[in-house]
Each structure stands twice: as structure tokens, then as C-alpha cells.
Structure 1
């Protein structure tokens, strides 16, 4: 059964508007072979990103459905360590991504209550 996790990552101070542009650009390549390969390596079924503005700084929140949260993180670490590696076609995005976020992503300090999907989900 898939895990449902909420991951949080800090946006570099002063770069929120740039970060919004970077993350919105995902829509331009989300169905490319490179993007699909990354999702498959991570074991991710669904990933969505949200902007959270707070007094202590702005963050990206990622809603993720995946087979194994640890595998998602491990693949993420591999990609960030070698962005030119197996992500052909995503190099520009990864460079821009690394410019607008700071620190490691972490599982958000939230209490999971429920996750529901329709059995006929496309």
C-alpha cells in the first residue's frame, strides 16, 4: 500500500516569486520521459507542490503518494548529488530549483489523519 507524506522545504529568503516560477514550470515538462523516469525511480504515484508563506519564511510543501518514502528521499539525494546524471532534459530545472530552495526537504511536522481516493481513480 502506498504511503502518503507531506514534505516541507525552505525557500531561499527573497526568492519566493522566482520559486513560484520555477515550480510552475514543472507543468511544461511533467510528462517528459525524464520526469516520468524520475517518478518511476522514486516509486511516486502522485506529487503536488504548494507554497506556504509564514513569518519564519516561505516553504514549498510537497504532497506525495509513493510506495516508500525512504526510496523517494534516496533518489532525490542521488539526483541532487549529480544533477547531470540520469535526468537528461531536466538540467535547467534542477539548476533553477537548487537556486531557490535552501536546506534539505523534511517530512512536515503534521499529524496524518486520513487519505481517501475513489476506487475508479484515473
Structure 2
């Protein structure tokens, strides 16, 4: 069964532009990004920049079979893009701590959904 995952981490306000630059680079490297998603067992990954009470937060939505497998695969990854992602996150996040506590009330996907993503 697919597990939806929502995470939120506080971004250093002085590093928002660095985060935007990194996410732009990720969009320019779709083949590598898809390869890491497959390695991690992630079906969908979406990153959002949110402002809550004027403060920036990085929010991720993922769909996966196993959250634990995702984190294990990322920790053991040999992909350059994963190492770069980890380095950027260490720089731009105030803390790696997840600050969202969301209960999944329901999750449903249309079997007709497209894999196309809009920038």
C-alpha cells in the first residue's frame, strides 16, 4: 500500500535563494532525480517553499511503499545528486527536524493521472 508522507523543515531566511537555486538545478537533472526516486522506492516527490508566520519552510510530499526504505536508501546512496542534496540541506535548513505532525485522513490517486509535472 502506498504511504503518503508530509515533512516540513524550517529554512534559514538568509538561505532561501540558495534553496531556490538548488531546486532549479534538480529540475534541470530529471534523469538523475528519477534514478534516485527509483532507488529509494519513491513514486512521487514534490517540494514546496511555504511561508508560515512570515518564516520560510521547506515542505515535501512523497508517495512511497516504505518511509523507512526511503531513508535507508538515501543514507546509503552513491548518487552524486543525493550527496549534493544532503550538503545543500545542511546549509539551508535551520534544523533537519521535521516540524509537521500530520495525520493522514485519506489518500486516493486517480488511476488516470499523468506523470507530467509542471514547473
TM over 0.5: yes
Question: Normalised by the size of structure 2, how large is the TM-score?
Answer: 0.77
> Structure 2 unaligned runs (5+)?
115-119
Match for residue 14 of structure 2? 14
> Structure 1 unaligned runs (5+)?
80-85
The total of aligned residue pairs comes to 114
Equivalent position to 2:34, from 25, 33, 36: 36
Cα distance in 1 for partners of 2:2, 2:89 equals: 26
Alignment of 1:1-122 (within 5 A): 1-32=1-32, 35-55=33-53, 57-79=55-77, 86-88=78-80, 92-106=84-98, 108-122=100-114
Q: CA deviation at 1:103?
A: 2.4
RMSD: 2.4
Q: Deviations over 1:33-87 (max 9, x none)?
A: xx233212211000000011123732110000001011112223335xxxxxx11
Question: Normalised by the size of structure 1, how large is the TM-score?
Answer: 0.75
Q: CA deviation at 1:107?
A: 7.0
